[in-house]
Amino acid sequence: MTVRLKVLNRKEFEAKLKKMSTQTLANLKRTVRVTANETRNTAVTSILQNARSGIEVTRYNPKRTIRISAEGDPPASDTGFLASNIYLIMDADQLGASVESRADYSKFLEFGTLKMRARPFMQPALEQGKRKYRKMFEKAVKDGI
Domain positions in the chain: 2-7+28-144
Nearest to 101 by CA among 25, 32, 39, 29: 39
Q: Find the range with the poorest average confidence among 25-34, 57-66, 112-121, 122-131.
A: 57-66
* Separation between Cα atoms, residue 112 and residue 107, nearest integer Å: 7
The pLDDT, as a whole number, for residue 87 is 96
* Separation between Cα atoms, residue 97 and residue 110, nearest integer Å: 20
pTM for the complete prediction?
0.78
Q: Does residue 110 contact residue 118 with C-beta atoms inside 8 Å?
A: yes
Nearest to 80 by CA among 123, 110, 122, 50: 50
The pLDDT, as a whole number, for residue 115 is 92
Read off the pLDDT of residues 71-114 as tens digits, 9 standing for 90 and up.
Answer: 888 998 888 899 999 999 999 999 899 999 999 999 999 999 99
Instruction: Give the count of beta carbons closer than 10 Å to the beta carbon of residue 129.
Output: 15
